[in-house]
Structure 1
Amino acid sequence: MPDPVPLRRDDPTRIGGHELTARLGEGGQGVVYLGRSPSGAAVAVKVLRADLPRDQAARDRFVREVSAAARVATFCTAQVIETGVDEHGPFIVSEYIDGPTLAAAVGRDGPRTGAALLRLAVGTVTALVAIHRAGIVHRDFKPANVLLGADGPRVIDFGVAKALDATTTLTSAVTGTPAYLTPEQLSGEPAGPAADMFAWAGTMLFAATGRAPFGADGLPAVFHRIMTAEPDLTALEEPLRGVVAACLAKAPSARPSAGQVLMRLLGEEAQDTGGAEGERAPEGSAPDVLEQDRDAPAGRPSSGDGAGREVSPGDVPVREIPARKGKAHRRRVPVLAAGTAVLVLAGAGYLTAQVAAGQGRGPGPRVTSSGSPAASSGSAAVPSGVAVAPATRAYTLPGSAITVHEGDGDPIRLTSYGLGDGARVYVRAGLTGRFTPATGYLAYAMSPGGRRALGIDALYGADGSSTVSVVDRPGGPAATIAIARAPVYPAFPQWSPDGTRALVTLNEATGGTAKGYGYAIIDPARKKARVVRVRDSGVGRWSYFWRGDGRAVGTWASGAGEVRWYALDGAAAGTLPGLGGPLTVDGEDLSPSGLHFLSRCPGAAGEICVWTADGRPSARFAFPADRVIGWYDETRIAAWRRKGEGYEAVVVDLGGRVSRVLATAGAAEYKATVLRYTRTG
């Protein structure tokens, strides 16, 4: 921050219990002071220059809006400590970062280059991942809002623009700094997470050149270039040049999410991480902060279905599994932005690509003493199915250009989807109703038949616990269940075959990375969760899934080509080796009977293998699928394939024959969208 200067005669000396000792700066939004908290810690106190209405409801709304910033992880952001309104106006108290702004540092020392520029890019986009994960859009990302602290860059002032815009007369119709506005803002459209990515790209270009991305020679000229021109990116090197170019796309839907950018900068494929999920925004708008019911439990996003009982951490038993002895397998865990107060990267595949595997409804898998599958007398035949139901209607999903083709006789029905790598989640009213935004959830999965739903909550509870919500449908109450304390968080909800229990994969954010932690079994009737920590060697890269009998869960062991089963209490329950490799599956891993699952065929690219519960080969067919939606029925799957410049989801039988199109999507939306289907019966 700028060097402190003495207080002026008319400056306040105390705000919200914090003593003010000096001025740090002044801008269009207000004055920033250096302060001392009651404990003696240095803090930054921003007093906003806002014409706030006098009625208490407006003041309460302002505090509620701006307090959302406190949900953001402190990793690469300045922690918000307190917000409020007193006789001096609305104020925000945050962590004091002793360092210059990026704007000042570049003006003093010149542009950033090489590793220093890349570190700046990684740190600032990590901050945006955390901000978007908390359901906030910055809306004023710029060099002056990036502080260069001793421990790296920190982003400040997130969420302030929305709070002022919603409750005061300070801001105009277009909020933000002119040089870093987006085409959609200049067109009068709402600013969502994609607007932050455009401003982030411009800020990185400023850091590399010392110049505003679209010039500084008068607003009409700058605005014209924002709308029509492409800036010169020759000062940037790869991989930064490519991601900056993508983020400067004129259309918001064409820009990558913060999570995708982070993965590309770290050398990972964006589809491996699913990108970053951000706030939930209704169609046609992009609210910057998740709304909460004032009567809802603290930290629980409003679902509109009523408050449920929150389980205390003491009700969440944890069982740890000792590490598997023997040779350790290398595993590639994506490096993610993370903190202790925010759920991080969960999207297409939820942190890691989801895989298909299962177990029959009979006894556990047969394993020989040598660890190989028991010999079989031949392939288990896959039964023939009935004809595929024809599509009777086609519609475009709200908030997207994806077209869905649906038939009245379909055994599965699209019931939720996430756009922009989960930045917005939409939920269907039952199995046939309209789709509406589901604010407050990172993911949402309906149980078979649509009786219940499980939502991964976007917010941690007031006690720091990650939570899920079990929703009785249609229109029933929602019960919030604590899972584990931060930095452990749930992802990829799945219902048991009988719909009586649910499963979530647990990951742990630590030191800027995320690694596998284990799983949790959720009992909706008792409003409890059993957390199992898995320390097994090679496990943690892939998510967990149900066995067909509902008495165990499994996961793939990285590099081993095998599925390992665990009982619901965490005890080892068998291994299926020699299966090839996992496929990315967005929905159901098991066939409807629970008797079959899929994999990439051992030693054969572009082929899918079908296995029985005990690991015997059942079918093998060629199909160019990078992602599988799930099982359509017992003899067919739903999978994506490339079609022209985009992709289409099709029904394909276990001989590789396509019978119907389920959905079509452009390349960008295919990569950033998860379609979750529910079995109708």
Structure 2
Amino acid sequence: MESPRSHPRSAAPAPSELRPDDPTQVGRYRIEARIGEGGMGAVYLGRDPGGQVVAVKVVRPDLAGNRMFLARFHDEAAHAERVASFCTAQVLEHGEDLGLAYLVTEYIEGPSLLDHVTAIGPLSPGMLHGVAVGVAAALVAIHSAGLVHRDLKPSNVLLSISGPRVIDFGIARALDAASSHTRTGQVVGTPGWFAPEQITTQNITPAVDVFAWSCLVAFAATGRNPFGQGSFELMAARAVHAEPELGSLPEPLSRLVRSALLKDPEQRPGARDLLLGLVGGAGEADVSHTLGASWTTPPIPRPDVTSRDPGAAQAQPQARAQVPAPPPPRPQPQPQPQPQPHQRTAPANELPPPAPMPVAERHRQAPNQGTMPSHEIAPHPVTVPQQPPDRRRTALAAGAAVLVVAAIAAAGAYFLTRPDDNGGKADTGSTAKAATGFPTGPMLVRIDTEPGWPKECHADIGTYKPGDAAPATLVGGPACDTLPERSPDHKYIAFSRSVDGATSAQVVNADGSGRHKVADIAGGRVTWSPDGTRLAYMGGSGGTRQIYTVTLANGTVTRLTGDDSAKDDPMWSSTGRIVFWSRKDGAEQIYTLDPDHPAKPWVRVTRDGVRSVDPEWSPDGSKIAYTRGPSAASGIWVMNADGSGGHALTSGDAHDMDPGWSRDGRWICYVRGPVGTPEIHAVRADGTGDRVVTPPGKVLGHPSWS
């Protein structure tokens, strides 16, 4: 075939001028133009103070209040920072600017694979082999960091001068979390590129990316999707039941592509197997050698390239400048205090990234089949509600949104100590020096009105906003009120009340009004089901306590356990499982169970025999914070939901206990010190920025942020 430069290439719309409600400054980056818009928000062309061109990605406002989305994003961003930047894009920084969350990525110049094939046709043998190798190498890096792309497709592969670069991974999972309670049974992905198990709602594993890799390689070789074209339903049916049409592929590509398209995910090769089959080695040097020998410079790179669905109408070719000229300047906003970016440097003793985490019992979101730009941040375009312009033009809308992206930082990237950090030691000075991203909302707390806890309890339920002089009481009186927990919709609060030796689960409105008893319990905390219709609690008397649930609407009680082991601290996750500790196998260890199928065996998630109690799910249900170690010398630990990746957040030498996650999953509050006079602390989920948040002269306990 002829050299790509001898062919005209389709031209995509140039970066457009900013709209009235677009930002003109995000953090330290000047925003010059809008690159594109998709399902999660907008992508902008920006420049740093030194003039470097970057892509600035911002998420649409209506996701800002979704706890599942926020927590999933931050979790995925932490994993993405560990992805090697070889054959991927690099994340430069992320932060928040007066309510506007953003992420800045390296700007990759070059057309997408979709644009190139749509405009020019199938790749030459050398470029085809280079794409197969480069994308497989990117998947090795992505999977090694515990991520699954979930939406690998030609528009997410950019053909740069140095080789193919994979972008926009980690996004579908965040969007799936955002919609899991509102779009049950739907699919996140793009028709023609998703695997059969994404259609049939099986667990998502790295094998879905291997399937998509084979579809992508076949498309690059033939210009056609191996499952053809058609409606969502038709493409889904073909992916599950039909055999692909691959045409003539050279070896070893033909063999690898066919094995990667097997319907059973367990029979497909892994990404490393693909790479070994293509280059005879899985190292960066092997990949670099292959790309250097086979890669043909793609058409002159254009930063204004946008991706189109195959078959979409093509624009006429047009010339381009090396870097897009910005549109006419707009009035700049008044200078604002610059936010501290979320960057990181790894301490010398940092643990390796956790193993890939299984995703169980997940719901799907149906894809949308629209178009999106090469630097897009979402798999599907979604209509974004129009918002009136804000008084500050650097905000998308009032209360706007959290950032989500698919960019990545080089493996071994370092945590940068922020100005408010002090090496992980507690900041005992002032809470006014809040961290970038430090939660601004109030936490629920137990307010001790008289000394004596825990032998004597004189406690109210209230709220406390870190930095305030004192907490605010919501539920007061002579009773012992403890362990407050907000409902998922934040309209109600459940807590435990003890009066004259009898304990009950109580529920009040968020403002403290309307208190009523729900059930008699045996002490301990109560916890809400994900839909807010049930509470789980410890029940029973005179013998071993068991875990029960009660339906709030009709008072129906269901017993979930019946063994003779001591157990406590049930906590319901947003994904539907209940975590708790039990002495079933000796020392206190943490287990999970399915409350809708209580006869199923428990799953033990701690196995080292060290006392582990107080388990708390992260808002998205992907992690568990817990208290580990002997009571007098316990610390706060975090692990993945399956028990992998356990690591300490605190030193474990000062009786740390009772962890609780912030709503965005980025901070954990806990109590430290003597049981009768504890201090509430907060620490980032990466273990940095530990600080005291209890106001002087007050005794507060049982903090709950979420």
**TM-score calculated relative to the size of structure 2:** 0.39
Normalising by structure 1, report the TM-score. Answer: 0.40
More relative contact order in 1 or in 2 (CA 8 Å, sep 6+)? 2
